[in-house]
Structure 1
Amino acid sequence: MRIDSPGLTTDIELLRLQGSVVTEHDDHLVVRTDANPTFWWGNFVLVQDAPRPETVAHWVARFEAEFPHAEHRAVAFGAEGGDAGGWSERGWEVETDVDLVSDAVPAPAPAAEGIAVRALELDDDWEQSAHVGAHDTAPAGRAGRLVFERRRVTAQRALVDSGRARWFGAFDGDRLVARLGIVRLGDLARYQEVVTLESHRRRGLAGALVRAAGEWAFQDGAVRRLVIVAEDGGPAIGLYRRAGFSEVSRHVGVSRPPAG
């Protein structure tokens, strides 16, 4: 099955590297991450076509047949365009993501004074990364979210240990306040998990991390292009464009959280 979106194709490669099982069918893929069953976008159906109202019931049924015990629902679409209105009408969240690429090291973006940018190495660095990932979760759901984030950190550390990846953090003293990852995938390098704590936004931290990760990725002579994905209409797209990234495609994902 062919998917042209560099964001989705690198998503699938990354999931495989982290132990997910990808089963290919004629018109869709089923992605399963048994080690992290609450990871929505590690347990989903990827459809080759664009969303269409008349296929909503079909793909809902397909997801539920593949994941009978899942509390969430998640379906992604590989082709641009289409009409996701049938999903939103049923109460599903519809998100459009933008794939951006750059063939050069991102533009310089110094972090604010007093902020140190370095790779995550220590156990405490990674534990703080899990907490940064869970920082926006309501208190009632925080414990469960930390379980999810710690599982994801375990997979990320395995990628780093393999030599394929590096996670970078911005530290205010000893406190991790922003982080991201980047993974080398042949001639592409894909950014992962760009998060900045609300208390430290608009201080140049994301730009500094994007630059540091891009520099590291291009140390491998095989890497020719950087890939990053941002939510359509979100504040990050402007930052990435200023860093030298250009839009190449878009794709839609639809999801529904657990009931209650």
Structure 2
Amino acid sequence: MARPSLGNETDLFFPRFEGQVVDRGPYLVVRTPANPTFYWGNYLIFDAPPGERDFPRWMDLFVEELGRPPQVRHVLFGWSGGEPSAAALAPFTREGFELSEDLVLATSAVHAPPHPNTEATFRPLETDAEWAEALEHQVLMREPHFDEAPYRDFKARQLARYRRMADAGRGAWFGAFLGERLVADLGLFHEGPLARYQSVETHPDFRRRGLCGTLVWRAAEYAREHWGVKQWVIVAVSDGPATSIYTSVGFEFVERKLALLRPPGA
């Protein structure tokens, strides 16, 4: 397969570390056996959007490469390139798929936000207690449609992998601390000079204090100084409020990242 788009390429940092990425030519197989509920760890990436006759072929390939439930209960397809036609989308939507759209933002120079936070301490997590606090914070910030128990299991597996990546020198999980309390956190991981942010969250009680933008900036400074990172990538929900925060510290729109997801039970 030709090199994936920037959003897809940085998605692959994580399964390449502790999963499998198999090049089949016109598509990539992404598997994360240790976390089968992780959507973006178990899916197919094609080199072009689906065509009008691709639905049965793509479904057969997913079953062939990733198996049937209960191991992987969702179905997810990504691709590099443009937007599928309405006719190509129709058979997917009839079978419970949703078209998702995220914005891929990137920069070669992250700078301070207009009003940086000077109250908090910004640094990588260090102790077991801090990682446990990050888990609680990430679970608290989940989308309302995710039930707590399965989401906690998924997030615990995910953070355990992030910690192993940090221990291997591939990145870090950063927190903003007011006293001893974690009030915002994010991950930043890299392959060579390219880095990707993960799961940027600020506690609702501490928003509008410049914590998010300052944490993104401070993490980038750490990555530049310690890992030699020269380009930073962040993926944001297309209609989410965080995009303006990211652009305020230097990020610019690069591409849209489209995907088709059928979640469990759909």
Fold conserved between structures, TM > 0.5: yes
Q: In structure 1, how many angstroms separate the alpha carbons of the residues matched to 2:230 and 2:178?
A: 32
SS of 1:35's equivalent in the other structure is coil
One of 175, 179, 182 as aligned partner of 1:176:
182
The change in CA–CA distance for 1:42 and 1:172 in structure 2 (over 3 A counts) is same
Q: In structure 2, how many angstroms separate the alpha carbons of the residues matched to 1:62 and 1:130?
A: 34
Listed as ranges, the matches of 1:1-260 within 5 Å are 1-17=1-17, 19-66=18-65, 67-69=67-69, 70-83=72-85, 85-86=89-90, 87-108=92-113, 112=117, 114-135=119-140, 136=142, 141-220=147-226, 222-259=228-265
TM-score by length of 2: 0.88
Q: One-letter code of the match for 2:81?
A: A
Q: In structure 2, how many angstroms separate the alpha carbons of the residues matched to 1:181 and 1:112?
A: 19
Q: How many residues are treated as equivalent by the alignment?
A: 259
SS of 2:169's equivalent in the other structure is coil
CA contact (8 A) 1:32 1:42 kept: yes
Q: In structure 2, how many angstroms separate the alpha carbons of the residues matched to 1:161 and 1:106?
A: 27
The change in CA–CA distance for 1:12 and 1:120 in structure 2 (over 3 A counts) is same
Cα RMSD after superposing both structures: 2.2
Comparing 86-95 with 188-197, greater Cα deviation is found at 86-95
Q: In structure 1, how many angstroms separate the alpha carbons of the residues matched to 2:113 and 2:58?
A: 44
Query: 5+ unaligned residues in a row in structure 2: which ranges?
Result: none
CA contact (8 A) 1:177 1:200 kept: yes
CA contact (8 A) 2:113 2:210 kept: no
The change in CA–CA distance for 1:207 and 1:127 in structure 2 (over 3 A counts) is same
Q: One-letter code of the match for 1:78?
A: S
Aligned-residue offset at 1:140? 8.6
CA contact (8 A) 2:30 2:43 kept: yes
CA contact (8 A) 2:120 2:179 kept: yes
TM-score by length of 1: 0.90
Query: 5+ unaligned residues in a row in structure 1: which ranges?
Result: none
Deviations 1:197-226 (A, max 9, x none): 333333322101100111011114742211
Aligned-residue offset at 1:113? 6.4
CA contact (8 A) 1:22 1:30 kept: yes
Deviations 1:117-160 (A, max 9, x none): 22211111111212222223669931221111111111111111
Q: In structure 1, how many angstroms separate the alpha carbons of the residues matched to 2:264 and 2:156?
A: 20
CA contact (8 A) 1:106 1:210 kept: no
CA contact (8 A) 2:13 2:190 kept: no
Give aligned-pair identity as a percent: 36
Aligned-residue offset at 1:110? 5.4
SS of 1:203's equivalent in the other structure is coil
Q: One-letter code of the match for 1:232?
A: S
CA contact (8 A) 1:182 1:191 kept: yes
Q: One-letter code of the match for 2:58?
A: W
CA contact (8 A) 1:114 1:173 kept: no
The change in CA–CA distance for 1:226 and 1:60 in structure 2 (over 3 A counts) is same
